Amino acid sequence: MGQSLTQKILKSHLVTGDLEEGNEIALRIDQTLTQDATGTMAFLQFEAMNLSRVQTECSVSYIDHNTLQTGFENADDHAFLQSAAARFGVYFSRPGNGICHQVHLERFAKPGKTLLGSDSHTPTAGGMGMLAMGAGGLDVAVAMGRGPFYLPNPKVLRVWLTGQLTDWVSAKDIILEVLRILTVKGGVGKIIEYAGPGVKTLTVPERSTITNMGAELGASSSIFPSDEQTLRFLEAQGRAQDWISLTADEDATYDEELAIDLSLLVPMVAQPHSPDNVVPVSDHVNQVVNQVAIGSCTNSSYQDLMRVSQILKGKHVHPDVSLVISPGSRQVLSMLASNGALTDLLDSGARLLESTCGPCIGMGQSPVSQAVSVRTFNRNFKGRSGTQDASVFLASPEVAAACALTGFLTDPRTLGLPPLVDFPERFRIDDSMILPPGDPTTPIRRGPNIRPLPLAPALNDTLDLPIILKLGDNVTTDDIMPAGSKILPLRSNIPAISEYTFHKIDAQFAAKAKDLKQSLIVAGHNYGQGSSREHAALAPMYLGLRVVLAQSFARIHRANLINFGILPLTFVNEEDHGRLKPGMILHLSNVHQAIQTPGSFVLTLSNDPNPILVRHDLSERQAKILLAGGLLNSTKYSVDA
Ligand code: MIC
Ligand code: SF4
């Protein structure tokens, strides 16, 4: 029987597990990436494992999130990461060189290989025919040491593309359409594989916009074949030798299928406050816009920004709109500078930002109170922009540029002739801001904000846990551990950052948790969707969270909970969620035996004779980790860095 593209890569990288069954599998990882907001933890963990040099084909450490240096903390993190990269054998992409996913695509991604990154948008490299997945920093640290990466054996969903995009409709509209159909839960447990005659009409950067936002579907990864378009991109990056042809067999079978005719798509927006809340932009044409932000790992490629510059050329941004642009990489920025497009952007009134994540993670450019902000980014969770009452719409660069000119949400098809951008024959290649692996004796530079890792206690056999918080569906890791310019500098200091746990939902959470000493959270479906930040597990663990009882979990967050000793349980009967209230005490007994036995077990409530039936769905490996109090404990590594 024929194989899908996904199956081919899974098979060639399988370490343990069975691809025919629904169990946990383990994969060999060829490349890793880390970024500065998750990387300090990953390297502290790598160091704690007493490993001396990375064992992958290539590992890269990027500085792109925490570049707003309002105090010593971020600069100290950069110095730590630079010294750790040199010592442990990792490439180091200096601040200003670009957003990790864009630079990785340009300079490192290779078809047919596996990539694990401590960032949820690592699947961006799926546009290159690579199996690229996001994970917590600890899993990436293990992979850097050549340990396998464990994940539930994924289902494969094929998206069959036919036709061709029409004028003013772009790759962002394709993934917004997929999000509209599948929702933010629709990809959980799946790899999304793109195929069909429409695929060859899309360039690698366009494909990567689509695979990037597969993270918003909750998918484990998204992938395109490696074909002539892939070769064209690699040739233009001076890397033709990295190309291989890789497609699914014609008779491959899939677990699920979806078909999209590209010629029927129209310009879309994701309305506040969820990336799947998608409608045509024409539904909102009278909506005033206060801010437009163009950039992020989703839409800041050379072609994206060239199209924006052509739309804005010779015109002026509406006086009531603030337009900010962050090019995805130094390569993109320098090409715009050398061909004059940057001048067109600046002349139009655009404000130029660094080639970093910037406003996407609330690092500056928070919009005005009650703003409507149109962003080419991938997440519009409430408050993520830094302005709690702002309404963020996600859109393509074409829609964003049109809004910047008119001051209203605008269907760009009303602007006349579309921009026409040629695919460059040669990108501008200058790797001087990527430092190669250095001397293994390089001393590690550790500023005062870089604190040792806390360890989880071993899981008790009997637990009496008060419910500290009860939540609904789709709680994000931004809800659990917010980001932004005030909190991100504390990423290397768990005691300090833990004070912000659930801060926007309950400002007293940290204080309450410390009073209770041990606690449990009740949640709905898709708990922990969004980013890979393990701080959303580490900080609650530090505050005494022992169990999360939810209807279902997002993959990366569930793995992070287990890695840091927090037991993830799901309801067997959905309606039991309604019976639970904050303050109630749940009693768990014989926990050790229960988590080592497949199937369900019961929790009892004080003052209620009806028990709550729950499942753990842990593999044997995961049960062992929990019994030991987390992955670092279970492998008996020393963490007194
Ligand atoms: C994000 O987009 O939320 C981030 C910031 O890139 C995160 C990583 C982090 O929290 O550091 C992600 O997507 O994993
Ligand atoms: Fe950076 Fe935003 Fe991409 Fe996350 S989603 S990596 S914050 S640009």
Question: Does the pLDDT at position 639 exceed 60?
Answer: no
Tell me what the pLDDT averaged over the chain comes to. 96
Which residues lie closer than 8 Å to 481 by C-beta, 6 or more apart? 487, 497, 500, 501, 533, 535, 536, 539
* Residue whose CB lies within 8 A of the most ligand 2 atoms, among 35, 329, 360, 377, for a mutation test: 360
DSSP annotation of 476 = B
The average pLDDT across 121-133 equals: 99
Ligand with smallest separation from the Cα of 118: 1
The pLDDT tens digits of the residues spanning 367-394 come to 999 999 999 999 999 999 999 999 999 9
* Residue whose CB lies within 8 A of the most ligand 1 atoms, among 34, 43, 63, 120, for a mutation test: 120
pTM, two decimals, is 0.97
DSSP string of 145-201, one letter each residue = TT--EEEE--EEEEEEEES---TT--HHHHHHHHHHHH-TTTTBTEEEEEESGGGGG
* Whole-number pLDDT of residue 635: 67
Which residues lie closer than 8 Å to 121 by C-beta, 6 or more apart? 101, 134, 212, 215, 297, 298, 378
**CA–CA separation, 213 vs 418, rounded Å?**
24
DSSP annotation of 411 = -
* Residue whose CB lies within 8 A of the most ligand 2 atoms, among 34, 60, 63, 65, for a mutation test: 65
**CA–CA separation, 40 vs 56, rounded Å?**
19
Question: Does the pLDDT at position 607 exceed 90?
Answer: no
Question: Does the pLDDT at position 640 exceed 70?
Answer: no
The average pLDDT across 354-375 equals: 97
Q: Please name the residue that has the structure tokens 């081919």.
A: 8
Going by pLDDT thresholds of 50, 70 and 90, the confidence category of residue 21 is confident
* Whole-number pLDDT of residue 131: 99
Question: Does the pLDDT at position 50 exceed 60?
Answer: yes
* Whole-number pLDDT of residue 606: 84
Domains of the chain, with CATH numbers?
5-264 (3.30.499.10), 268-415 (3.30.499.10), 463-635 (3.20.19.10)
* Whole-number pLDDT of residue 633: 85
Q: What is the 3 state secondary structure string of 291-304? A: EEEECCCCCCCHHH
The pLDDT tens digits of the residues spanning 537-586 come to 999 999 999 999 999 999 999 999 999 999 999 999 999 999 999 999 99
**CA–CA separation, 359 vs 343, rounded Å?**
22
Q: Please name the residue that has the structure tokens 């899981």.
A: 459
Residue nearest to atom 1 of ligand 1 (CA): 531
How many Cβ atoms from other residues are within 10 Å of residue 470's Cβ? Answer: 18
**Residue ranges lining ligand 2, Cβ < 6 Å:** 65, 99, 119, 121, 296-297, 357, 360-361, 377-378
Q: Is 142 helix (H, G, I), strand (E, B) or coil?
A: helix
Q: Six-digit token pair at 109?
A: 């991604």
Residue 484 Cα to ligand 1 midpoint, Å, equals 11
Which residues lie closer than 8 Å to 282 by C-beta, 6 or more apart? 266, 267, 411
Contact 419, 307 (CB under 8 A): yes
Residue 211 Cα to ligand 2 midpoint, Å, equals 14
The percent of residues above 90 in pLDDT, for the chain, comes to 95
Spatial CA neighbour of 127 closest among 198, 243, 206, 217: 206
The alpha carbon of residue 414 and the mean position of all alpha carbons in its chain are separated, in whole angstroms, by: 34
Q: Six-digit token pair at 421?
A: 């951008």
Going by pLDDT thresholds of 50, 70 and 90, the confidence category of residue 641 is very low
Q: In what order do the strands lie in the sheet with 58-62?
A: 131-134, 114-117, 31-35, 58-62, 91-93, 434-435
Q: How far apart are the first and last CA of the chain?
A: 51
The average pLDDT across 495-499 equals: 97
**Residue ranges lining ligand 1, Cβ < 6 Å:** 37-38, 65, 119-121, 134, 361, 483, 530-533
Question: Does the pLDDT at position 174 exceed 80?
Answer: yes
**CA–CA separation, 518 vs 275, rounded Å?**
34
Ligand with smallest separation from the Cα of 117: 1
The pLDDT tens digits of the residues spanning 427-477 come to 999 999 999 999 999 999 999 989 988 988 899 999 999 999 999 999 999
Going by pLDDT thresholds of 50, 70 and 90, the confidence category of residue 20 is confident
